[in-house]
C-alpha cells in the first residue's frame, strides 16, 4: 500500500493567518491526490481533487499544489469555520490511502 | 440533494457479525461506485471497500479481506456491508461514500453519509 505522510499533525494559528500542510507519498502518485476537511463529529468533505482542483462550492482561500510525491495544501487566510482536521488521500493505487491528518486549531 | 443514510451499527462481541446498510437518494445509484470508509475513535480515515455500480468490480482493504462482504441492491438504492469474524480493531464509525470514479479510478469521494458506530467488545 502507498503510505501518505502528512505534516504537521497539528498546528495553531490565528484568524487571517496563512496555513500550510504538506503531504508526502511513498511513491509517485502522479496528481491523484485529494484533500478532505473533517469537522468534529461530522463526515469528511472533499475540498480539492487531483492535487489542485477546487471542488464546487469550496471557498477560494483553499488551494492545493504539487505533483509526484510531494504536495501542499494552503489556507490563505484562516477563518473561524476552518477549524477542523485535514486529510490528504491518494487514489493512484488501490487501496486509496489517507494521511494521518492535520488538526488545525486557534492559537 | 444527494443523501446517504447508514444504519445497522451497534455493539457486538468479538467473533460476531453485523450487517450495515446505506440508503441512497438524490442521484443515479445504479451508475455510481460506492465505498465504505471507517474511522476508529480518535483516529484517522481508513478505506474499507468499494463496489462498482454494476456490482462487477469489488475491492477490499487487506485488513478486512475474507471477513467483510460489500454488496448492493440497485432496485432498492441500498449498499450493504456484511461484517463477520469481528475484532476489537474493527471498532469504528463506518461511513457510506459515493465514489466519483474519476479517471476510472476509485477513491474520490464527493458525498459521505453521517456514519454509523460499530463497537466490538465483550
CB–CB contact B108 A34 (8 Å): yes
User: A54 and A63 in contact (C-beta within 8 Å)?
Assistant: yes
Give contacts of A46 with chain B, Cβ < 8 Å: 108-110
- According to the 3-state scheme, what is the secondary structure of A40-92? CCCCCEEEEECCCEECCCCCCCEEEEEECCEEEEEECCCCHHHCEEEEEEECC
CB-CB neighbors (< 8 A) of A50 in chain B: 102
Name the grid cell of A56: 464546487
A52-92: per-residue pLDDT in tens?
999 999 999 999 999 999 999 999 999 999 999 999 999 99
B103:A45 CB<8 A: no
pLDDT digits over B56-87, tens only?
999 999 999 999 999 999 999 999 999 999 99
| Minimal Cβ distance to B44: which of A50, A55, A100 | A100
* B47 with A96: Cβ contact below 8 A: yes
Phi-psi label, residue A91: left if phi above 0, alpha if psi -120 to 50, beta otherwise: alpha
Amino acid at each position: 500500500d502507498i503510505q501518505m505522510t502528512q505534516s504537521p499533525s497539528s498546528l495553531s494559528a490565528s484568524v487571517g493567518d496563512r496555513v500550510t500542510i504538506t503531504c508526502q507519498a511513498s511513491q509517485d502518485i502522479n496528481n491523484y491526490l485529494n484533500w478532505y476537511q473533517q469537522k468534529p463529529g461530522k463526515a469528511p468533505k472533499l475540498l480539492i481533487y487531483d492535487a489542485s482542483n477546487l471542488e464546487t462550492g469550496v471557498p477560494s482561500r483553499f488551494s492545493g499544489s504539487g505533483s509526484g510525491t510531494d504536495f501542499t495544501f494552503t489556507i490563505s487566510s484562516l477563518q473561524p469555520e476552518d477549524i477542523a482536521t485535514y486529510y490528504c488521500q491518494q487514489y493512484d493505487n488501490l487501496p486509496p490511502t489517507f494521511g494521518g491528518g492535520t488538526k488545525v486549531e486557534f492559537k | 440533494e444527494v443523501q446517504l443514510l447508514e444504519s445497522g451499527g451497534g455493539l457486538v462481541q468479538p467473533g460476531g457479525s453485523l450487517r450495515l446498510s446505506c440508503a441512497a437518494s438524490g442521484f443515479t445509484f445504479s451508475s455510481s461506485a460506492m465505498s465504505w470508509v471507517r474511522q476508529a475513535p480518535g483516529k484517522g480515515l481508513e478505506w474499507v471497500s468499494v463496489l462498482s455500480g454494476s456490482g462487477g468490480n469489488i475491492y477490499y482493504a487487506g485488513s478486512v479481506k475474507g471477513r467483510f462482504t460489500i454488496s448492493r441492491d440497485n432496485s432498492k438504492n441500498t449498499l450493504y456491508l456484511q461484517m463477520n469474524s469481528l475484532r476489537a480493531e474493527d471498532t469504528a464509525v463506518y461511513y457510506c461514500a459515493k465514489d466519483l470514479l474519476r479517471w476510472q479510478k476509485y477513491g474520490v469521494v464527493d458525498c459521505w453519509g453521517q456514519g454509523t458506530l460499530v463497537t466490538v467488545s465483550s
